Amino acid sequence: MTAFSYELLATDPATGARVGKWHTPHGTVDTPAFMPVGTLGTVKGLTPEQIRATGAQQVLANTYHLALRPTADVVETLGGLHQFMQWNGPILTDSGGFQVFSLAKLTKINDEKVVFRSHIDGSLLELSPERAVRIQEQLGADMIMCLDECPPHDAPPEKMIAAVDRTTRWAQRCREAQVRTDQALFGILQGGTHREMRERSAAGLLPINFPGYAIGGLSVGEAPAEMYSTLDFTVPLLPTDRPRYLMGVGRPVDLLEGVLRGIDLFDCVMPTRNGRNATAFTSAGTVKLRNLKHRTDTGPLDPECPCPVCTRFSLGYLRHLFIAEEMLGPILVSWHNLTYYQTLLRDLRVAIISGTAAEFRTRQLARWGSSV
């Protein structure tokens, strides 16, 4: 995979947090990094220029959803995801493996493949490891993911073992199916919150020699403390010379705790989903914009935020937009939330380089208080 490389720039000796650069055919990503989620080829409500203005360098799209509409054939015909979305930076596509968990009632799984019944019209979509790779090659993302099985965190031991082993077998099939050399295929560790299962997953995946590794199966119902303790024993299993991606996480505090455990890449719908639902993340904690106390507030949403939302509009105006059900409200708060996530990680990178990541964590947790 000569088109890709991970450059480790600094490691904080007290925590294991690290700063690096992930080089891809469509540009370099400064890590640790957060990827806004554009499931259907769009980060809801924002143009590519607005996404870039938040500080984002890479975005995510979803194989399952794009395979249903507009279909991989259509995206390929229209020039691939970069042209389709008009996003000229790196893109990652999930394989559809998370939907095995999130849409469990609409799926049937065996060792050969997953069969989904479309949540849109009831039609069937078959995803084998080979088919998942083929769709992602048509979509043309820079980073693509192996098809995996994401079991519930409280799955019984026999089902957890079966999911881990199936994920390993599918990863080998994905590797063998890959044709394009300008895409980095990531393996995904599963195993819930069980140390022996994570070790079993790593033992199966590391010999396949992927250019990057993801940790899946977290933030699926377990307590935050369980997620953090799982990272404590899982991250050290991964190579130090490749990016480490924690899938589907999460809250600002989760990003902070993940970075201090050595995670490089994150994605989550939370900043935009919460933004659409009148909840903002700020340097002082979360703000519920529908609260009556904001009605006549002339101050900014977050006085420390450099985004256009905070430098131009009052808190009272933002509340008005949601009360009046104006579409500008969700757009503006999504823009702010993504900027906040990018600013948090930028500041973390500075702290890691200066060797003060632990102190940064202490200060930030105190500022957030109980609102995280």
**pLDDT digit string (tens) for 139-186?**
999 999 999 999 888 899 999 999 999 999 999 999 999 999 999 999
Q: pLDDT-derived band of residue 312, with 50, 70 and 90 as boundaries?
A: very high
Of the three residues 268, 285, 305, the one that is the final residue of a domain is: 268
Q: Is the pLDDT of residue 94 over 50?
A: yes
Domain count, the chain: 2
At residue 371, the pLDDT reads 66
Active site residue 264: no
Q: Is residue 6 part of a domain?
A: no
Active-site residue, selected from the candidate residues 12, 94, 254, 264 = 94
pLDDT of amino acid 369: 85
Question: For 252-286, what is each residue's pLDDT tens digit?
Answer: 999 999 999 999 999 999 999 999 999 999 999 99
Boundary-marking domain end, from 206, 238, 268: 268
Instruction: State residue 75's pLDDT score.
Output: 98
Q: What is the mean pLDDT of residues 286-292?
A: 98
Give 95-145 pLDDT, tens digit per residue: 877 787 677 788 899 999 999 888 888 888 899 999 999 999 999 999 999
pLDDT in tens, 3-45: 899 999 999 999 999 999 999 999 999 999 999 999 999 999 9
pLDDT averaged over every residue in the chain: 95
Closest CA to 255 of 137, 160, 366, 372: 372
Dist CA 314 CA 289 (whole Å): 11
Catalytic residue among 142, 148, 254, 267: 267
Domain check: are 117 and 152 in the same one?
Answer: yes
Residue 267 annotated in active site:
yes
Both 264 and 290 in a single domain? Answer: no
Q: What is the CATH number of the domain that holds 253?
A: 3.20.20.105
pLDDT of residue 372: 65
Per the structure, the complete domain to which residue 345 belongs is given by: 270-372
Q: What is the pLDDT of residue 122?
A: 86
Whether 31 maps to a domain, the answer reads yes
Mention every residue, 6+ apart, whose C-beta is less than 8 A from residue 186: 143, 144, 145, 146, 210, 211, 212, 213, 214, 245
User: What is the rounded average pLDDT of the residues 43-55?
Assistant: 98
Residue 121's pLDDT is what? 87
Q: What average pLDDT does range 67-85 have in this prediction?
A: 97
Hey, CA dihedral for 113, 77, 68, 218, is it positive or negative? positive
The reply to whether 170 and 279 lie within a common domain is no
Looking at the fold, whether 131 and 261 belong to one and the same domain comes out as: yes
Within 13 Å and on the Cβ side, how many CA atoms surround 86?
A: 7
For residues 223-238, average pLDDT: 98
Q: Give the whole-angstrom CA distance, residue 102 versus residue 247.
A: 14
Percent residues over pLDDT 70 in the chain: 99
Interval 321-344 mean pLDDT:
98
Q: Cα–Cα distances in Å, from 271 out to 38, 110, 117, 334, 337?
A: 12, 34, 29, 6, 5
**pLDDT reading at 1 higher than 50:** no
